[in-house]
A and B are shown apart, each in its own frame.
Chain A
Amino acid sequence: MFGIDDPWVLLAYLGCFVMTAVSLVYGLIRRNAAPDELTVEDRVWALEEKRIEDER
Chain B
Amino acid sequence: MPGQSSVEWIDIVVILLYLTATVYLGWIAYRGTKSGADFLLGGRNAHPIIMALSYGATFISTAAIVGFGGVAGLFGMSLLWLTVMNVGIGIFIAFTVLGEPTRRIGHHLGAHTFPELLGLRYQSKGIQLFAGGLIFLFIPLYAAAVLTGGAVFAAAQFGIEFEVALLVFAVITAAYVIPGGIKAVMYTDALQGAIMIFGMAVLVIFTFTVLGGITEANQSLTDMADMVPASLQAIGHQGWTSMPAFGWGSTTYDMWWTVVTAIILGVGIGVLAQPQLVVRFMTVRSRRELDRAVPIGAVFILLMTGVPFTVGSLSNAWFAQHGTPLHGQVIEILNEDKDRALVELMRPTPQGGWETVISATTGQPASAPLQIAERQIATDANGEVFELVSGRAPAIVYARGEPDKIIPTYITEALPRWFGVLFFMTLLSAGMSTLSSQFHTMGTSAGRDLYERLSGKPSGSQPSLLVMRLAIVLGLIVAVTISYNIREDYVIARFTAIFFGLCAASFLPAYVAGLFFRRVTRTAALASMFVGAITSLFWLAFIKAREAGAIGLVQRFTDGKTSLLADYPNWPSVDPVLVALPLSALTLILVTAVTRPPETSHLDRCFPERAKR
Q: Select the residue from A16, A30, A36 with max chain B CB neighbours within 10 A.
A: A16
Cα-based distance from A3 to B60 in the complex (angstroms): 28
Task: Assess the A23–B87 pair: CB atoms within 8 A.
Answer: yes
Cα-based distance from A17 to B87 in the complex (angstroms): 9
Task: Assess the B180–A56 pair: CB atoms within 8 A.
Answer: yes
The yes or no answer to B41 lying at the interface (CB within 8 A) is yes
Question: Contact check: which of B219, B243, B294, B306 meets A16 at CB < 8 Å?
Answer: B306
Q: Which residue of B lies closest to A30 (CB)?
A: B291
Task: Assess the B288–A35 pair: CB atoms within 8 A.
Answer: yes
Task: Assess the A26–B96 pair: CB atoms within 8 A.
Answer: yes
Q: A48 contacts which chain B residues (CB < 8 A)?
A: 110, 112
Cα-based distance from A42 to B184 in the complex (angstroms): 18
Q: A23 contacts which chain B residues (CB < 8 A)?
A: 87, 91-92, 294-295, 297-299
Cα-based distance from A37 to B289 in the complex (angstroms): 11
The yes or no answer to B468 lying at the interface (CB within 8 A) is yes
- Chain A: interface residue total (CB-CB under 8 A): 45
Total A-B residue contacts, Cβ distance less than 8 Å: 169
Output the least CB separation between B35 and chain A (Å).
Answer: 6
Question: Contact check: which of B96, B106, B460 meets A55 at CB < 8 Å?
Answer: B460
Question: Contact check: which of A4, A12, A35, A52 meets B81 at CB < 8 Å?
Answer: A12
The yes or no answer to B357 lying at the interface (CB within 8 A) is no
Task: Assess the A4–B77 pair: CB atoms within 8 A.
Answer: yes
Output the least CB separation between A2 and chain B (Å).
Answer: 5
Task: Assess the B36–A49 pair: CB atoms within 8 A.
Answer: yes
The stretch of B279-287, B391-399, B557-565 in contact with A is B279-287
Task: Assess the A34–B35 pair: CB atoms within 8 A.
Answer: no
Size category, B interface: 35 or more
Cα-based distance from A35 to B100 in the complex (angstroms): 12
Output the least CB separation between A44 and chain B (Å).
Answer: 8
Q: Which residue of A lies closest to B223 (CB)?
A: A3
Q: A46 contacts which chain B residues (CB < 8 A)?
A: 37-38, 40-41, 283
Question: Contact check: which of A12, A31, A44, A53 meets B80 at CB < 8 Å?
Answer: A12
Output the least CB separation between A38 and chain B (Å).
Answer: 6
A28-B295, A41-B108, A48-B112 are known contacts. Are A16 and B468 too (CB-CB below 8 A)?
no
Q: Select the residue from A20, A36, A44, A47 with max chain B CB neighbours within 10 A.
A: A20
The yes or no answer to B61 lying at the interface (CB within 8 A) is no
Task: Assess the A27–B292 pair: CB atoms within 8 A.
Answer: yes
Task: Assess the A42–B40 pair: CB atoms within 8 A.
Answer: yes
Cα-based distance from A19 to B91 in the complex (angstroms): 10
A27-B294, A52-B459 are known contacts. Are A45 and B106 too (CB-CB below 8 A)?
yes
Task: Assess the A16–B302 pair: CB atoms within 8 A.
Answer: yes
Q: B184 contacts which chain A residues (CB < 8 A)?
A: 53
Task: Assess the A27–B295 pair: CB atoms within 8 A.
Answer: yes
Q: Which of B291-347 contact A (CB under 8 A)?
A: 291-299, 302, 306
| Inter-chain pairs besides A4-B222, A12-B84, A19-B88, 8 sampled, C-beta below 8 Å | A3-B221, A6-B238, A8-B243, A16-B83, A16-B84, A27-B294, A49-B282, A52-B459
* Residues of B bordering A, CB below 8 Å: 33, 35-38, 40-41, 44, 76-78, 80-81, 83-84, 87-88, 91-92, 96, 100, 106-108, 110, 112, 180, 182-184, 214-222, 238-239, 241-243, 282-283, 285-299, 302, 306, 443, 448, 459-460, 465, 468
* Residues of A bordering B, CB below 8 Å: 2-6, 8-9, 12-13, 15-17, 19-20, 22-24, 26-28, 30-39, 41-53, 55-56
Report 10 cross-chain contacts, Cβ distance below 8 Å, ordered by A residue. A2-B215, A3-B221, A4-B77, A4-B218, A6-B239, A12-B77, A15-B80, A27-B293, A36-B288, A38-B40
